[in-house]
Structure formats: structure tokens, C-alpha cells
Amino acid sequence: MTDFGPRTHPKTLVLFDVDDTITPARKSITPEMKQLLKDLRKEVVIGFVGGSDLSKQLEQLGPDCINDFDFCFSENGLTAYRLGQKLASQSFIGWIGEEKYKKLNSFILHYIADLDIPKKRGTHIEFRNGMINVSPIGRNCSHPERDEYEIYDKAHNIRPTFVEALKKEFSDLSLTYSIGGQISFDVFPTGWDKTYCLNHLKGESFDTIHFFGDKTFKGGNDYEIYSHERVTGHAVEGPHDTARILKDLFFKK
Ligand code: M1P
């Protein structure tokens, strides 16, 4: 495997969730966090593993994020880059097949059509490489509308109820439904959670893999990787907390 270049701890990898771990939810990284990660990259090997697709991470982490991190794992690692080079991966449609996907897609669209919620905005299903993302309000909503929807969703249990209906209807499919953000949930084959990215590290020789995430509780989309036996997990309450722990772990004199 290619050398990562000089690092104080070349056998330590630090992986980060994105939303609410190194950026505010669906917002851009701050210059302070960007600098901290740049400094950290002199100490250890770094990567991110997000549920979102790469286009959103490019918006949030900057257009050069593929080169700012040693590993970029989008969609839990179903889209992956190592030192700026794309790695081979599987696809959701290849796994599920067109016929079963059509049934899933139609059920979701009918369910949303019948859903009585205050606002609907469009792009209710986002078809990605390694998963689909389903949003009752629709991904075209504005930032104030997403904040408003999140509160409504919590009060009326919209997404958990939706997920239960899908589990019942598609009990023959080995699918996982993950509520990782504010307005949507991800649907992917069971096992294609964030631990999927560890498959890309099999040929590497890290002796420590740290992971930082905010949704590390059971049911959260960081839970599986946070509690994985190969990983030292850190539960954080936001980017400020991530920064605090990083300074404590790697920059304390
Ligand atoms: O990274 C967490 C989640 O971020 C987005 O969720 P939402 O738009 O609901 O806030 C999505 O990109 C989702 O896929 C992802 O898991």
C-alpha cells in the first residue's frame, strides 16, 4: 500500500462522521475546524465516513475535500477515495435488482402521497450508489423548512412510523433503515452501515482506528462503527466537542 507520507503516528487512523461532528448539520466546515484537521493530518492519517453522498460532502467540506483527507467515505463507504483515487465498490441497485427496486420505489411514493404533513417540497427519493435516501418533506426544502420539519417529525413520529410500514411490507428483503439526519432516512442492505468503510482498510496496517460521531446511540447511524471491535469510538456533542477531544488526544504537550 502507498505510503501516506510523514506522520507522527503513521499507524493511527482517525475517522470522522460529518454532520454535527466536524460540521454543523448540512452546513459548511468552519475555517477553524479545517485548520485543526490540517494540523491533525501531520500527526495521523485522517478520513471521513458520512451517510450523505459525495456532492453534499463537497459542499460542506470544500471542493478539494478528496485531497484534504487521506480517506473519503461517502454513503458509508459505498463511494470511497484513498489519497484522491477512487476505490472499487458495490451498488444498491446491483444488490436489489430492478424489479424489487420498482416495488420499493412505488410503495414509498404512494406512502408519501397519502401522508398528511404541513409541507411537501419534492425530491422525496434520492437514488444514490449505495443506498436510497427517503424524505417525507422532500430534499428541496429550505434550511428553515428542514428545521421546522425536524420538530414536526419528532412530535408526530413521521419517520419511525414510515420505517415500520416499510419493514412490514418488505420483510423479505434484508434492508436497514437509518434515521441519520433531520428530514430523511437512508435505506441500504443490512451490513452496509458505516462499518462498510472498514472493508476498504483490509490491506492497510493501522494499529489504532479512532472514530468520532454524534449519533453513536443504538439506532443512530454511527452506532455500528462506534461500537465495532476494531474501533476506538468517541461520542461527541458537536464540532466544538470533537475539537476539544482532538486537542486533548493529539496536541497536548
Ligand atoms: O449524514 C447524516 C444524514 O444527512 C442527511 O440527512 P438529512 O438530509 O435528513 O439531514 C442525508 O444526506 C442522509 O443520507 C445522511 O445519513
What pLDDT digit, counting tens, does each position of 133-182 carry? 999 999 999 999 999 999 999 999 999 999 999 999 999 999 999 988 89
Cell 434484508 sits on residue: 174
User: Rounded to 10 degrees, what is the CA torsion of 18, 66, 36, 61?
Assistant: -50
Distance from the CA of 6 to the center of ligand 1, in angstroms?
34
**pLDDT at residue 63, as a whole number:** 95
For 86-111, what is the mean pLDDT? 97
Rounded distance from Cα 247 to ligand 1 centre (Å): 27
Assess contact for 125 and 105: CB atoms under 8 A: yes
From the CA of 133, give the closest atom in ligand 1: 14
Residue with the nearest Cα to atom 7 of ligand 1?
Answer: 181
pLDDT single digits (tens) 17-49? 999 999 998 899 999 999 999 999 999 999 999
Question: With a 6 A CB cut-off, is 77 part of the ligand 1 pocket?
Answer: no
Among 240, 239, 232, 235, which residue's Cα sits nearest to residue 44? 232
Q: Which residues are catalytic?
A: 17, 19
Residue linked to cell 476506538? 232
What's the CA gap between 81 and 221, in Å, rounded?
21
State how far the Cα of 166 lies from the Cα of 28, in Å rounded to an integer: 33
Cα 184 versus chain centre, distance: 12
What average pLDDT does the chain have?
96
**1 pLDDT band (50/70/90 cuts)?**
low
Q: 132 C-alpha vs ligand 1 centroid, how far in Å?
A: 11
Share of the chain above pLDDT 90, in %: 94
CA distance 190 to 198: 15
Counting Cβ atoms within 10 Å, is residue 225 exposed (0-12), middle (13-18) or buried (19+)? buried
Give the CA angle between residues 199, 205, 206 to the nearest 5°. Answer: 85
